[in-house]
Amino acid sequence: MANKVRIATTSLAGCFGCHMSFLDLDERLVPLAELVEFNRSPITDIKHCAPCDIGLIEGGVCNAENVHVLREFRQNCKILVAVGACAINGGLPAMRNSVPLEECLREAYLDGIGVENPMIPNDPELPLLLNQVHPIHEVVKIDYSLPGCPPSADVFWKFLTDLLEGREPGLDYDLVHYD
């Protein structure tokens, strides 16, 4: 089918829980696959985003690579969606924002209980951490947000079927939760 809607997904500073929740669509994935195809996504292992109709972003931005990936998605996706609490407000990773970055690294890699060979990782391939974790709407324009930690499969289903059937997406009371 030539005219499938193209979707890209990624997890930035997230736990992949939103992706797991997406997979909770279970048997609904079969009819969905008739209508959409996946481009860049952990599901396909495609590394860079081609022009897409919908981009689903899980997680906030905690490092330089997150910012690059997020901008690539914005450039390539007609509709960009903040998926889950971390994308919307930074989520649990942003709870480090009250602690200076150096202290975080010190605790994790030097002074923490049980640390062996204390050393702060400095491989040049590792993306540099940002001083604070930010929600993605502070970096690029976001078209829709799906709250929840994670948003349930029903939220994904309602949102995607609304879009695919040409309706303005909306979530009823039972589909809106922040945890």
Partner 1 sequence: MSHITIDGQVVPFEEGQTIIEAATAAGVYIPHLCHNPEYAPHGSCKLCTVNVNGRNATACTFPAVEGQTVCNNTEELNFDRKRLTQMLFVEGNHFCPSCEKSGNCELQAVGYHLNMLDNHYPHFFALRDLDSSHPDLLLDRNRCIFCNLCVRASHADGKDVFAIAGRGINKHLIVNSASGNLGDSDINVDDRAAHICPTGAILVKGTAFKVPIGQRRYDHHDICDMSAGEQHGE
For partner 1, give the closer residue by CB, 41 or 150: 150
178 binds partner 1 (CB under 8 A): yes
Helices (H), the chain: 17-23, 29-35, 64-76, 85-89, 101-105, 153-164
Interface pick for partner 1 out of 82, 83, 160, 163 (rule CB under 8 A): 82
Minimum Å distance from CB 60 to partner 1?
A: 10
**Distance between CA 150 and CA 172 in Å, rounded?**
16
73: left (phi over 0), alpha (psi -120 to 50) or beta: alpha
Minimum Å distance from CB 33 to partner 1?
A: 27
Say if residues 40 and 124 touch (Cβ distance below 8 Å): no
83 binds partner 1 (CB under 8 A): no
Length of the chain: 179
Interface pick for partner 1 out of 13, 54, 142, 163 (rule CB under 8 A): 142
Minimum Å distance from CB 171 to partner 1?
A: 7
